[in-house]
Structure 1
Amino acid sequence: MEEEIYPIAIEDKMKDAYLSYSLSVIIGRALPDVRDGLKPVHRRILYAAKELGLTHEKPHKKSARLVGEVLGKFHPHGDSAVYDALVRMAQDFNQRYQLIDGHGNFGSIDGDSAAAMRYTETKLTEIAESLLSNIDQETVEFVDNFDGSLQEPEVLPAKIPNLLVNGSNGIAVGMSTSIPPHNLGEVVDALLHLLDYPNARLETIIKNYLPGPDFPTGATIVGNDGIKSAYQTGKGKIILRAKSKLEKSGRHQNIIITEIPYQLNKSKLIEEIADLVNKGKINSVADLRDESDKQGIRIVIELKSNGDPELTLNRLYKYTSMQSSFRINLLALNDKKPVVMGLLEILQHFLNFRKEIIRKHTRYDLNKAENRFEILEGLKVAIDKLDLVIQIIRSSKEKAEAKAKLVEQLEISEKQAQSILEMQLQRLVGMEMDKLEADKVDLAKKISNYKKILAETAELNSVLRNELKEIKAKFADPRRTEIIADDTKAEISKDDLIKEKSAAISLSYRSIIKRSEDFNNLKAAKNDYLIDAVQGSSLDQLLFFTDQGEVYNLQVHDLEEHHGLATGDNLNKYLQIPLKENVVSLNILSKNKQTDFYYTFVTKSGQIKRTAAEEYRSNYSHIRAIKLADQDKLIKVIKTDQEQEVIVVSKNGYLIRFGGSSFSSTGRNTQGSRAINLTDSDQLVYFDKYEANSYLVSVTEDGRANKINLAAFNSQQRNGKGIRIFSNQNYRLAGAVSCSAGAEILLTAKNGEIYPISISKIPETTPGGNMYQITKDFDFEKITSVNKIISVKTD
């Protein structure tokens, strides 16, 4: 024929070639079948082992013998691929239920490779044989091997639900599967329940029968949301955590790791821990050693005498593979198509498959029994007419003639005639005759039972139920992996990595912040003074409110701890607060939810607002604290309850005192209510709680001051004009503070100079009294602000 060449676009050719390759990888290599849970290479290894007679009760044979059998007959790929698959089927840390019984070095959980196939020996395990049970009874389809010279099973009969029991991992083209192993007894219980209740709910299966994966290396699954998601949708993620215990060793405590997450290399885990210790991320470890042996894993982490076991474990979970995630993707081949399935779907596919296998081998047994029954019937006829049979045989010149005469004269089938001709004379003995009759009765019962199984669904289900119960009784073992249902324990938060301890924090006039264990260690640098201080826990949150209505947050444990003469660090080391913003208040928010207190705000224009403290708990670096009008500024924020009396002081010298019940609490981003009725030329300069034993110290811009007992100011209605602090209406306040009798205040001049002064030097008056010059000895142009100096001395 004349050669014809057709032009084809390279894109089309590449698409066709890639599609063929993809299908080959998906169906022929990478994905397991939903029925027997095996990939082709594993199926071929098990079938070849059976063909070689490597059953569990027989001696082992060289692995190379089995690999050669697989390569030569069924698997046209490299020997290393076959041997690697065989090795994994023999590893007790890889397979929940081993399918290959291996002798020799088959690798270790430390990542050591198996010895060469010429040194190791293999045979099938008993549970693997249950995958091959009834395979020679026409239960599964056989297909041609790679060269058409032999046939191999398309799928194994699989009495055990291997897809779930041993799981599977594989990467195909554009898809991958990741099915975790499960406990055989639990899977069988789930199958039995689904067999009895076909419309069973997934929640019932999870709660009562199959709570989650069960890994060969044990460990712990933290949280069950990922399990539920995977079982419902076919996709999910679970958190695996190593198991450990504490042991006392003299003055030290040791953390003993006894189980590690699935498919984690133990040696690499130890390297990870050692690396953390060397880098200083974990400073409580004195020694690290591996004491694992044939009895199991034992990694010893010896702690220093002051080491905190819980804190150390949390850091190990956070920074090493002691806690890792396992992705679940229940993808398998169903009718040669890759499908992501939920748990119920996988279980139902297995039940349907086993029902079909039972039907097939029941039909096989029925045919065999009926054939045997037919032969026994013929033998009985022959014995009853023995003389005629002998006469026919003697008178026949050849076997074919004898067979034809027997069929005609005894009115039997050719099969029966053939069996008569092959019958041994010993069958004519009386005992054999009785056995023949007994065999007929037994076969009749079997035939009746086989027909009943094939005809009645209930009988078929009964056979499957008994089969599953036998499998469970024979192979089930206790669960190894513990499941902690609490999903909140799955994630290790930053707080879990911090040892809780008391903390005292101070903020100075020059924005120097210091953290120490208690107030006794707080001090300011030369020519600097502490103007704010709080006390709490290393797990608490600091809130820095600025005059622009923002609140910046900082975790206490993020502050470097200072002791002794150290004065701390500049605040900008921890927070990037714009230059236009000034911190007006420092507060601390406990790690525990706060339901009994509020933050109360007052602005320069006279607005007051109270908001629940919890609204300021945030993971953001800063959030809006209060809604401010144009040109308005926040002057102070204090912690109060809903009834707390407060005072506000204006620049023109008015003070108003009123109760917290006179205004309502509002949300975070609100303006609030009017605190005082200000004139256009006035604004607020101070705000605080009302405390009866305290003094109000007021300082004018030109350096005059007085102090008045706060009890002298009567409580009024909110939004009133207030009470005069001093008589001269020309004075303008630079600021005011509420403090005790022995306190000190800090005056700031316009030129930047600061001047501390004891309030004992300031004359005491009554509302509307005189103001007294207190800055005669100071060199200043104008007082711009007044702060209370914090005393941190304790007894």
Structure 2
Amino acid sequence: MARRSTPAPPPEDFEEHILDIDVRDEMRSSFLEYAYSVIYSRALPDARDGLKPVQRRILYTMNDMGLRPDRGHVKSARVVGEVMGRLHPHGDSAIYDAMVRMAQPWSMRVPFIDGHGNFGSPDNGPAAMRYTEARMSPAALAMTASIDEDTVDFKPNYDSREMEPTVLPSALPNLVVNGTTGIAVGMATNMAPHNLVETVQALRHLITHPKASVDDLMRFIPGPDLPTGGKIIGLDGIRDAYLSGRGSFRMRATARIETQGRKKAIVVTEMPYNVGIEKVVERMKSLVQAKKLQGISDVKDLSDMANPTRLVIEVKNGFHPEAILEQLYKQTPLEESFSINAVCLVEGQPRTLGLKELLEVFLGHRFDVVRRRSAFRRKKAADRLHLVEGLLIAILDIDEVIQVIRTSDNAAAAKERLIDIFELSELQAEYILDMALRRLTKFSRLELEKEQEDLKRTIEELDAILNDEKLLRKVVSDELGEVAKTFGTPRRTVLLESAGVAVTSAVPLEVADDPCFVYLSSSGLLARTTTADAPGAGGPRGKHDVITSAVRATARGEVGVLTSRGRVLKLGVLDLPTLPSTANDPHLTGGAPVSEFVSLEAGERVLGLTSFAEGSLGLAVGTRQGIVKRVNPEYLAAKDEWDYISLKDGDEVVGALEMTDRAETLCFITTDAQLLHFTAESVRPQGRAGGGIAGIRLSDGAHVAWFGAVSDDAVVVTASGSSTALPGTEAGSAKVTPFTEYPPKGRGTGGVRCHRMLKGEDTLVFAWAGEPPARAAAASGAAVDLPEIDPRRDGSGVPLAQPIAACAAPVALQLGTPAPTPPVAG
């Protein structure tokens, strides 16, 4: 029988230690520790580099692994394992989720991960990490550049075996450009993405104008620029967010009405941010089944590689697609709200920041990074210069150096004798003893002397940066400009201060055929006025957008859209959104993108509008290769679209306009700064099939930058820059000159010089001529201040704050009517 063992008695000196703890105190302290960990180590980004800890650790680890854009992809599981084992012991799913988001172009405006494989979609998750591969994107290199030059502080990792950066150098303003979202304990953050080029322009303006207001910065950053495009309706909430860090705006899908056979269809080409097509389709089906939405016969998702977003909603006969689209905006995720809550960590404390504060924190970080980098490089250059000077001493007396070394008992004695005889430092002596004999040549001496000069010059330049705050700020500004040129892309999201007149019921069949005006803005918005008594109104624009084309029409009439492919696309005026007819308001809002009304081919641009009025003088057309054509008025055909010029391969139309009595002088401006103008009578009109005649003689490598019709009262606006810069990223140097300063030349000649290039400039990045005062706008629609009029015909320009995307005359002058109010200078 087994015996049950009895526990041994405790030793005599054993005492029990039982602590009585109040459960409320324990819960309070434990919860605070947990909250602190979530806030500072997981959920909130640092305001300097805009990264959460897991994102920072992913980029730092990939940089250490050498997964650069010029290397091959590696399995995502390998990256996740390295990050989890070295720096982030919080589970592989959290790391992989963060890694996937940094690779999705619909989630981040500038992705940091170059993913290979299935990284998901707005509706579906990614494949498992064992199936996908990844490497750093070029933008990620800008985030980690100079990290090994003592630019940031490091701290021990979770087990104190390695060191990790507390922040990345971040040459790119990541928090503003890519936004972020996160839920902490008792607080959350949600920030919208913005355009990189616009953000850099605002940062450079803030460097030169530290006291700039939020309204000043909004001239460069008028609103978010979402990765998925779409439209933003209502800008008041955006301004509130930029001022206080809290605000909201409405996102709307981009849709247009198309005719498909005998039916009408609503085609959605861009979705709101973080909204998937499947979510929208599911909501539509539930509304139709519940009989809360009528008029839809079918919904098809035709998205593919060529058309990433194409949702076709077929409309039943007898229903107006405009009314259905308005109901879809109200009842489905085709229109969603985005709430901005700009909470981030500043010096380790969570704070809610406005736009200016976000930019100031980033600039302060970049100033510190460049200052520390310059000090590191200066020390490195000084250390190398010290060794080079020692080598030069050794080479000058090389025979004696060799004799000293040969007659020494050992290396230590040789070092001591070299220090005493040649007055060298200990480092110099050790370096000479370690030097290879092949360095003791005449050629090496020349190399060393050149290296010595280069090092001294480098040290002087770095000393200047460290000792001159203005020079330091200029270096940061120049580096930001390079970032914008390298990674900048055009704006994708259209900003609208209002949505125009909403269609809440079926459009009546009988509409009065009243006179009106049709406007096209520089940001591609179309709209019409309700009556013809507002020729001086601003049209479909915000407070800065300019009207590039305006024509007279009637409410039930048609206008033509002229494109760069030489096509005329008919457009019903009744389909356009209506603007209020307030002639005294120069800042009317509304309008809709032209892509909602006409189908454009890849690379095709809208150049302007034309009316189909009787008595028209036809079209004047100029192409990129210098061809000019006058199109007979008989081009007005009973078709929905037709060609108005036969283009050669590689050519495109750069200017097309309807001829009027006052537009009797045709003008070309080329990229090599040549201007040629001649009378329209020298161009014989042709039919639609004609290919035009020689307009201007081009030099090698040049092409036409602008073509149009001008009067003697016109001014010429030109901006020069570098041909190697990404279009739309270089502000350039602008000049405004009276048109009368340029003498006329015969058609087919080379013209006269209209702009002198500055150093580093080799092309015109923008050109325009028209009635003063010229009004310029950036790609976002923000106003661009032009310099004063310069009477010099071939003078150089004045640097601009941001690139010009469009220029236009006041609307009243475009329509040939006197302006009701004095025009505002551009």
Q: TM-score, normalised by structure 2?
A: 0.59
Give, in whole Å, the separation in 1 of the partners of 2:198 and 2:41. 30
- Per-residue deviation at 1:276? 1.9
Structure 1 counterpart of 2:558: none
Structure 1 counterpart of 2:480: 468
Structure 2 counterpart of 1:57: 70
1:397 lines up with 2:409 in the alignment: yes
Residue in structure 1 matching 2:278, options 264, 267, 272: 267
Secondary structure of the residue that 2:102 maps to in structure 1? Answer: helix
- Per-residue deviation at 1:88? 1.0
2:148 counterpart letter in structure 1? D
1:231 lines up with 2:238 in the alignment: no
1:237 counterpart letter in structure 2? S
Structure 2 counterpart of 1:115: 127
After superposition, residues 418-457 of structure 1 pair within 5 angstroms as 418-457=430-469
The sequence identity of aligned pairs, in percent, is 44
1:299 counterpart letter in structure 2? L
Residue in structure 1 matching 2:262, options 224, 245, 251: 251
Give, in whole Å, the separation in 1 of the partners of 2:96 and 2:15. 49
Secondary structure of the residue that 1:239 maps to in structure 2? Answer: strand
Residue in structure 1 matching 2:165, options 153, 172, 191: 153
Give, in whole Å, the separation in 2 of the partners of 1:276 and 1:160. 44
Structure 1 counterpart of 2:681: none
- Per-residue deviation at 1:281? 2.2
Structure 1 counterpart of 2:83: 70
Structure 2 counterpart of 1:81: 94
1:138 lines up with 2:164 in the alignment: no
Structure 1 counterpart of 2:814: none
The one-character-per-residue Cα deviations of 1:92-129 (angstroms, maximum 9, x if unpaired) are 111111111111111112x2221111111000000011
After superposition, residues 514-533 of structure 1 pair within 5 angstroms as none
Structure 2 counterpart of 1:34: 47
The one-character-per-residue Cα deviations of 1:593-627 (angstroms, maximum 9, x if unpaired) are 9xxxxxxxxxxxxxxxxxxxxxxxxxxxxxxxxxx
Structure 1 counterpart of 2:505: 498
Give, in whole Å, the separation in 2 of the partners of 1:83 and 1:453. 41
CA 1:121/1:500 → structure 2, altered by over 3 Å: closer, same or farther?
Answer: closer
Structure 2 counterpart of 1:622: none
The one-character-per-residue Cα deviations of 1:24-50 (angstroms, maximum 9, x if unpaired) are 000000000001000011111111111
Give, in whole Å, the separation in 1 of the partners of 2:369 and 2:97. 30
- Per-residue deviation at 1:3? 6.7
Structure 2 counterpart of 1:363: 375
After superposition, residues 182-197 of structure 1 pair within 5 angstroms as 182-197=194-209
CA 1:421/1:307 → structure 2, altered by over 3 Å: closer, same or farther?
Answer: same
After superposition, residues 439-588 of structure 1 pair within 5 angstroms as 439-486=451-498, 496-499=503-506
The one-character-per-residue Cα deviations of 1:248-288 (angstroms, maximum 9, x if unpaired) are 11221111000111111210111111222222222211221
CA 1:441/1:299 → structure 2, altered by over 3 Å: closer, same or farther?
Answer: same
Contact 1:190 1:205 in 2 (8 A): yes
The one-character-per-residue Cα deviations of 1:740-778 (angstroms, maximum 9, x if unpaired) are xxxxxxxxxxxxxxxxxxxxxxxxxxxxxxxxxxxxxxx
The one-character-per-residue Cα deviations of 1:397-444 (angstroms, maximum 9, x if unpaired) are 211111111111111111111111122222222222111100000000
Contact 2:319 2:506 in 1 (8 A): no
Contact 2:171 2:366 in 1 (8 A): yes
Contact 1:223 1:488 in 2 (8 A): no
Larger Rg: 1 or 2? 1
- Per-residue deviation at 1:5? 4.8
Give, in whole Å, the separation in 2 of the partners of 1:11 and 1:35. 37
1:120 counterpart letter in structure 2? T
The one-character-per-residue Cα deviations of 1:27-81 (angstroms, maximum 9, x if unpaired) are 0000000010000111111111111111111000000110100111010111111
Give, in whole Å, the separation in 2 of the partners of 1:401 and 1:346. 60
Secondary structure of the residue that 2:81 maps to in structure 1? Answer: helix
Structure 2 counterpart of 1:313: 325
- Per-residue deviation at 1:157? 0.5
Give, in whole Å, the separation in 2 of the partners of 1:205 and 1:5. 62
Structure 1 counterpart of 2:786: none
1:241 lines up with 2:248 in the alignment: no
Unaligned runs of 5+ in 2: 1-13, 511-578, 581-826
Secondary structure of the residue that 1:139 maps to in structure 2? Answer: coil
Give, in whole Å, the separation in 1 of the partners of 2:324 and 2:216. 38
2:144 counterpart letter in structure 1? L
CA 1:462/1:502 → structure 2, altered by over 3 Å: closer, same or farther?
Answer: closer
1:410 lines up with 2:422 in the alignment: yes
Q: CA RMSD, aligned part only? A: 1.8
Give, in whole Å, the separation in 2 of the partners of 1:139 and 1:205. 28
CA 1:256/1:500 → structure 2, altered by over 3 Å: closer, same or farther?
Answer: closer
After superposition, residues 160-239 of structure 1 pair within 5 angstroms as 160-206=172-218, 208-239=219-250
Give, in whole Å, the separation in 1 of the partners of 2:230 and 2:507. 28
- Per-residue deviation at 1:502? 10
Secondary structure of the residue that 1:497 maps to in structure 2? Answer: coil
2:325 counterpart letter in structure 1? L
Give, in whole Å, the separation in 1 of the partners of 2:408 and 2:19. 71
2:277 counterpart letter in structure 1? K
Give, in whole Å, the separation in 2 of the partners of 1:316 and 1:68. 45
- Per-residue deviation at 1:2? 6.9
CA 1:261/1:381 → structure 2, altered by over 3 Å: closer, same or farther?
Answer: same
Structure 1 counterpart of 2:775: none
Give, in whole Å, the separation in 1 of the partners of 2:470 and 2:413. 49
Give, in whole Å, the separation in 2 of the partners of 1:181 and 1:83. 22
Structure 1 counterpart of 2:354: 342
**Comparing 349-358 and 480-489, the one that deviates more:** 480-489
Contact 2:323 2:507 in 1 (8 A): no
1:358 counterpart letter in structure 2? V
The one-character-per-residue Cα deviations of 1:626-664 (angstroms, maximum 9, x if unpaired) are xxxxxxxxxxxxxxxxxxxxxxxxxxxxxxxxxxxxxxx
- Per-residue deviation at 1:480? 0.6
Give, in whole Å, the separation in 2 of the partners of 1:306 and 1:487. 25
1:128 counterpart letter in structure 2? A
- Per-residue deviation at 1:488? 7.3
- Per-residue deviation at 1:487? 7.2
Structure 2 counterpart of 1:384: 396
Give, in whole Å, the separation in 2 of the partners of 1:427 and 1:437. 13
Structure 1 counterpart of 2:646: none
1:9 counterpart letter in structure 2? D
2:154 counterpart letter in structure 1? F
CA 1:302/1:502 → structure 2, altered by over 3 Å: closer, same or farther?
Answer: closer
- Per-residue deviation at 1:376? 0.7
Residue in structure 1 matching 2:295, options 269, 284, 287: 284
The one-character-per-residue Cα deviations of 1:706-746 (angstroms, maximum 9, x if unpaired) are xxxxxxxxxxxxxxxxxxxxxxxxxxxxxxxxxxxxxxxxx
1:302 counterpart letter in structure 2? E
Unaligned runs of 5+ in 1: 504-591, 594-795
